[in-house]
Structure 1
């Protein structure tokens, strides 16, 4: 009797996740390269493609960091084909920089519009196009109703949507499956090598539906995401030995 109840509850949980847009991965499916523990924060332990993700930015440099992180996600999402639409009012992305993340700039279609309401309308229509791999929209304000319309669109098309929000007057609840905040971290140069190091971020998953929010430090290197290991406290141990 107890086992039967557990089976019923388990099936109900799976059904609820399906209704909310979380589909279990097909057998043998691989996750996004290097996301590792971040994917474990989501239901089914897999980054939810075919859903809408919201990224918050409070400073211009945060928006740039979020854009870089999204480019890394696009690299994985576009491996199976399909283009991406990037919709905004005042685009600041430098297209050649996409190659850093393994994305060819000619596979990104940029749409620049004058009004934010037009950005939201174009985003909703784009998310209905099954032939696209992803849609990125830069907006400041988005209501729950507007975000719900976007989420309903992707539940039919299975296109992944990214809402990159700039400085907003009011942080409202949205229907997006996850809310992220990406901030830049100093890069680390290799010994005796000039220039700049690999892009690094502090990745905060602030909210995730039926998942576990968390914070991780990551970088993009060798064509994939990599977790930044916490430094071993050798120096602290050395100091303790001297102090002892």
Structure 2
């Protein structure tokens, strides 16, 4: 009887993970987003698709870095075609800059709004559209009930959602699969000149359902993410702290 109960619980756990976007890859067909050690922090070692991710930032600089990091992820998610919807509150996104992260601006639908309520409504409706590869929504606040509505939408469409929150003073509970914090880091100097190297980020998984939170340094070079494992200079340590 004990073995039967354990088998039932184990199967339920696997089913729940799959409903939440953590689908184990078929044998010999392990599909990775390219985040290296970051992906290993998720259940089954797979970046969860068909779910909602929350990314928080404390200021405009971090918001810009967050947008760049998400653009790199999107370029990988859109390799097999499809379009994405980017709903902005700030209007600061420069479409041409997406090319630096392998994204074609003509495959992104840009919507500029002024209120969180409007962003949430558009994002929820867009997440129901299975023809989209991803939906990104910038907003200041989101509560558990609102995030749950977004999660219910993606459970049917299998579209991946990203909530970019430029506010960290209200960090309540949400139904999102993971909560990220992305901060910019100085790039590696080229021939002693600063600011010419590849973009770098301090990537934190503050919360990940059934996974392991962690902290990594990632760089975007030659069209893909690359983990940076060497010791940081003192100046970069102060910026990351």
The verdict on a shared fold, with TM-score over 0.5 as the criterion, is yes
Give the equivalent residue in structure 1 for 2:235: none
| Offset of residue 150 of structure 1 | 0.2
Determine which structure has more spread, i.e. the larger CA radius of gyration: 1
In the alignment, is residue 120 of structure 1 matched against residue 142 of structure 2?
A: no
| Offset of residue 11 of structure 1 | 2.0
Give the conservation status (yes or no) of the 8 Å contact 1:51–1:151.
yes
Give the equivalent residue in structure 2 for 1:32: 33
Give the conservation status (yes or no) of the 8 Å contact 1:54–1:163.
yes
Give the equivalent residue in structure 2 for 1:65: 65
Give the equivalent residue in structure 2 for 1:100: 100
In 1, the alpha carbon distance for the partners of 2:53 and 2:136 equals 10
SS state of the match for residue 121, structure 1? Answer: helix
In 2, the alpha carbon distance for the partners of 1:6 and 1:55 equals 36
Please give the root-mean-square deviation of Cα atoms over the aligned residues, in Å. 2.1
List per-residue Cα deviations over 1:203-223 (Å, max 9, x = no partner): 000000011000000100010
| Offset of residue 113 of structure 1 | 1.7
* Structure 2 residues without counterparts, runs of 5 or longer: 233-241
Give the conservation status (yes or no) of the 8 Å contact 1:140–1:166.
yes
Give the equivalent residue in structure 1 for 2:13: 13
Scaled by the length of structure 2, what TM-score is found? Answer: 0.89
Give the conservation status (yes or no) of the 8 Å contact 1:127–1:159.
yes
| Offset of residue 9 of structure 1 | 4.0
| Offset of residue 8 of structure 1 | 4.1
* Structure 1 residues without counterparts, runs of 5 or longer: 233-244
In 2, the alpha carbon distance for the partners of 1:197 and 1:6 equals 52
| Offset of residue 146 of structure 1 | 0.6
Give the conservation status (yes or no) of the 8 Å contact 1:133–1:159.
yes
SS state of the match for residue 62, structure 2? Answer: helix
SS state of the match for residue 201, structure 1? Answer: strand
- The residue correspondences of 1:100-179 to structure 2 (distance < 5 A) are 100-179=100-179
In 2, the alpha carbon distance for the partners of 1:194 and 1:167 equals 29
Give the conservation status (yes or no) of the 8 Å contact 1:141–1:168.
no
In 1, the alpha carbon distance for the partners of 2:142 and 2:52 equals 13
Give the equivalent residue in structure 1 for 2:185: 185
Scaled by the length of structure 1, what TM-score is found? Answer: 0.88
| Offset of residue 20 of structure 1 | 3.2
